[in-house]
């Protein structure tokens, strides 16, 4: 994997994990269903939303 590819992969993984935390910790969604929803959310979260969830 190239350095750029690694950067992109890490960014997507981070967004996915933050989306899972948003769903489970803040919205109290079931952990079992959060992965599928996080897969969808990770692609639409803006930088501002990522920063807010990361606080």
pLDDT at 28: 96
Q: Which two tokens stand for residue 39?
A: 């897969």
> What's the CATH code of the domain at 32?
1.10.60.10
What is the per-residue pLDDT for 1? 86
Total number of domains in the chain: 1
DSSP annotation of 19 reads H
The pLDDT tens digits of the residues spanning 5-53 come to 999 999 999 999 999 999 999 999 999 989 999 999 999 989 898 898 8
What pLDDT is stored for residue 38 in this prediction? Answer: 96
Range of the domain at 10: 3-53
Q: Is residue 40 within 8 Å of 50, Cβ to Cβ? A: no
Give me the pLDDT at residue 16, please.
Answer: 95
C-alpha to C-alpha distance for 8 and 51, rounded to whole angstroms: 17
Give the pLDDT confidence score for residue 55 in this predicted structure.
82
This prediction's pTM: 0.82
The rounded distance, in Å, linking the Cα atoms of 26 and 4 is 32
């Amino acid at each position: 994997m190239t350095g750029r590819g690694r950067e992109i992969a890490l960014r997507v993984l981070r967004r996915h994990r933050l989306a899972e935390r948003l769903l489970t910790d803040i919205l109290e969604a079931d952990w079992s269903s959060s992965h599928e929803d996080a897969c969808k959310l990770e692609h639409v979260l803006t930088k501002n939303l990522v920063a807010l969830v990361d606080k």
